[in-house]
Structure 1
Amino acid sequence: MRILGLRENELNKINGYFTCTEMINQPNLWLEGVKIIGEHKQEIQKFMDRMNSIKDLKIFLVGAGSSAKAASIVENYIRRVTKKEVHCISSTNLITQPDNYIIGDEPVLLVSFGSSGNTIEGLEAVEIFQERCKELYQLLIICSDEGEMVKKYGAKEGVLYIPIPPGTKGKSIAATGEFTLLIQYGLLLFDIQNYDYYKELFQNASRDAARFFDKDIYKVHSIANQPYDTIAVLGSNSLAFLAEEMCLKITELTGGLQSSQFHSVLEFRHGPKVVMNSKTLVSFFFSRDPLTMKYEIDMLKECSEDKRKSTIVAVSMDYVSEIDAHCDYYFHFNGNGFPYRDDAHIVFLYSLYLQSFSILKAVNLGISPDTLGNNAGGFINKVAQGVNIYKK
């Protein structure tokens, strides 16, 4: 049996089994997540109807690390769906200067994004909101019901917690399913009235993911087996946050040995494009929005003309011949022609490319993906340690 194109015994030998299997299991988790949310549909709708009826309600999306990136990806979509004031704040920023973010005495819905529910900054963020808000509601999007966040707040009045599929919180330090499931729940909980659309979306995404793992994974091998001075990942709007998360995966899984950077697509020509003077892997995440894509294709053409020693990879949902003509490798996912409505809805498939690349690049560099904390000299932990909390 092969996983990401690697034999299972090879993965065990290099300590990569858990990271790889958790990564390729994501489509199963997506389907299970839709099922669980469907079972709680009435409870979710009742809570959201209540939130939507509250005048001047502010919504705060809070998380740390990959969880903060997941929150940032869904922020714009939640704002459009709810027509409410929505703020996405990393808890690592919030706890240092809460006065910058919590202003006024309007009712607040605090949405906590997290993997374990044990992150010190995330728990402190809840206490800060409790101290400063006269009327506070909570939505917990947490991958484990065994953490302090769910145990402490999950059953309280004015709090909604819907379990995420068991097994989402894996053994690997690098978040893969933990990242995409947070996005899935963030979208579905706030857009529960369109449940049937999401059910069909994830059925299609799962089929497209299977095709990627079966066929396209060998193109990823070819890309990962080349040496790069740096890797630049580009995306617009919500996809810029996906680019940021993918750079984090590259850094984590290679034990800090592979340099990477993220930019919005149009920002790249404002200086950062100079990295193409060296051997650089430039990866484009293309929007499904026609207007946005016009700007992005212009940037792709510019990079193609100036590529020098660089390698260009393009990722889009539907096949676009103009994109294909200006890149070295091209991944296009939407084999079933599904009508995806927003860029936040396509990150599930887009993430598969650089998640798998990060694992394969680690293997190429002789790094063990399952023990990356040790690879990095013990510098990092799955749940950040050593955080001291200070009060004014």
Structure 2
Amino acid sequence: MSDTASLKALISETATYREILQQPDVWREAAQTIRKSRAALDAFLAPSLARENLRIVLTGAGTSAFIGQIAAPSLGSRLSRRVEAVATTDLVSHPEAHLPQDVPTLLVSFARSGDSPESKAATDLADQLLGEVRHLIITCNADGALNRAHEPREDSFVLLMPERSNDTGFAMTSSFTSMLLAVLLALGGDDESAVDALAAAAEALLEQQDSIARLAATVPQRVVFLGGGPLTGLARESALKMLELTAGQVVAYHDSSLGFRHGPKAVLDAHSLAVVYESAGSYSRAYDDDIVQELRASVGQDRVLTVSAGRADARVTAESHWTLPGLAEVNDDALHAVAFVVFAQFFALCCSAALQLTPDNPFPNGDVNRVVKGVIIHSLNNAASPVAALDGRR
């Protein structure tokens, strides 16, 4: 399908389209939730943050795990504490490897639904293995098992995201960005001007829907997403969105800007498209710029796109440079990721429609499900005996 108008008509009827477009408003709501909870949240966090040997673990499954990968470098720098991202899928399968020391721990759990078996199992294992652990739960579903389990607990604090962030589409969009923004504000401090800037930048980007649709109309066979530091996690999430929404018909890969040369560059061919997220700091951005120039020399100017932060007076530009206005003043790659990912979400959605798939359900035969199936949680004390065989949403 190459008709941009027809493509947009197809996506406009989907929940995924609605959930991508609503994000700026959802971010404003999420920020308001943090502001209203600030006194109680600070009182809950204070005993943990006062511990110099505190370990903060950011955890979730799939897209929710990538929130931690984006946020951890930024929060570690801001808090001067040990902040690590560990997926629940790793924590549950190898708990003693990821919880090797009995040190004071703040476990921050991200979950769209809170019904994934790994979500609650991760918190249960932390309770079992650690002498001092507190839980910050960030979820989008008030009815989820994770919320129900932790809401009554004195050693837990639940930040419930706006109701409409609980995406009904197959791919996580509003849920991902709202939870990412929430943890950055909750642990890094309120920044109303940053939230306003992110929302305005995303709105400006979404005004360029036709340009993104035209870019997707020819559907690249392979897409590579690159970024450094926190933006490496964003590259990973962007690649997953492309894989999910195109049902794997577009091969998507991710790497760091500096690491891509060390073998993974072999994935590129004449039918590939590369998207490079540019870092805010001039030192780190120099490495992004180097790989951009190298790739453009090898695969062509129009096959390498950049997404970067611009000044307040900048305009979103199409073609090979996408500059989001008003973000240069924010100067935090993890916060930039909240707005940058909207480009990848909408691009993947348009590629899905161009392939004549159903974005809200790209796998009608059930090969991959929005509701994760077949997860068995085994007892740590008796690994031969499963204690739960449950289906759960990410």
Q: TM-score, normalised by structure 1?
A: 0.90
Q: Which secondary structure state, in structure 2, belongs to the residue aligned with residue 371 of structure 1?
A: coil
Distance in structure 1 (CA, Å) of the matches to 2:120 and 2:83 = 20
Q: Which secondary structure state, in structure 2, belongs to the residue aligned with residue 162 of structure 1?
A: strand
Distance in structure 1 (CA, Å) of the matches to 2:306 and 2:45 = 38
Please name the residue that 2:120 is paired with: 123
Distance in structure 1 (CA, Å) of the matches to 2:292 and 2:250 = 23
Q: Given the alignment of the two structures, is residue 298 of structure 1 paired with residue 271 of structure 2, yes or no?
A: no
Q: Given the alignment of the two structures, is residue 187 of structure 1 paired with residue 184 of structure 2, yes or no?
A: yes
Letter in 1 for 2:75: I
Q: Which secondary structure state, in structure 2, belongs to the residue aligned with residue 261 of structure 1?
A: strand
**1:46 CA displacement:** 1.3
Question: What are structure 2's unaligned runs of at least 5 residues?
Answer: 384-394
- Whether the 8 Å CA contact 2:53–2:104 is kept in 1: the answer is yes
Q: Given the alignment of the two structures, is residue 262 of structure 1 paired with residue 254 of structure 2, yes or no?
A: yes
| Structure 1 vs Structure 2 CA RMSD | 2.2
Question: What are structure 1's unaligned runs of at least 5 residues?
Answer: none
**Shift in CA distance, 263/370, structure 1 to aligned 2, threshold 3 Å:** same
Q: Deviations over 1:266-298 (max 9, x none)?
A: 122222223333311111100011001112111
Please name the residue that 2:333 is paired with: 343
Distance in structure 2 (CA, Å) of the matches to 1:55 and 1:239 = 28
Letter in 2 for 1:219: S
Q: Which one of 342, 358, 372 corresponds to residue 368 of structure 1?
A: 358
- Whether the 8 Å CA contact 1:204–1:338 is kept in 2: the answer is no
**1:5 CA displacement:** 7.0
- Whether the 8 Å CA contact 1:278–1:309 is kept in 2: the answer is no
Please name the residue that 1:106 is paired with: 103
**1:6 CA displacement:** 6.8
Aligned runs of 1:243-262 on 2, under 5 Å? Answer: 243-262=235-254
Q: Which secondary structure state, in structure 2, belongs to the residue aligned with residue 380 of structure 1?
A: coil
**1:87 CA displacement:** 2.0
Q: Deviations over 1:249-276 (max 9, x none)?
A: 1011011111111111112222222333
Q: TM-score, normalised by structure 2?
A: 0.89
Q: Which one of 210, 213, 216 corresponds to residue 218 of structure 1?
A: 210
Please name the residue that 1:333 is paired with: 324
Q: Given the alignment of the two structures, is residue 388 of structure 1 paired with residue 388 of structure 2, yes or no?
A: no
Q: Deviations over 1:31-76 (max 9, x none)?
A: 0111111111111121222221234222111110000001111011
Q: Deviations over 1:181-210 (max 9, x none)?
A: 111111011023xx2xx2111212222222
Q: Which secondary structure state, in structure 2, belongs to the residue aligned with residue 171 of structure 1?
A: coil
**Shift in CA distance, 5/92, structure 1 to aligned 2, threshold 3 Å:** farther
Q: Deviations over 1:295-328 (max 9, x none)?
A: 2111111111111597111111127xxxx9xx95
Q: Which secondary structure state, in structure 1, belongs to the residue aligned with residue 259 of structure 2?
A: helix
Identity %: 24
Distance in structure 1 (CA, Å) of the matches to 2:133 and 2:5 = 48
Please name the residue that 2:14 is paired with: 17
Q: Deviations over 1:325-383 (max 9, x none)?
A: xx95211002x365113100101221111100000000100001112231xx2022223
**Shift in CA distance, 50/382, structure 1 to aligned 2, threshold 3 Å:** same
Residue correspondences, number: 373
- Whether the 8 Å CA contact 1:74–1:183 is kept in 2: the answer is yes
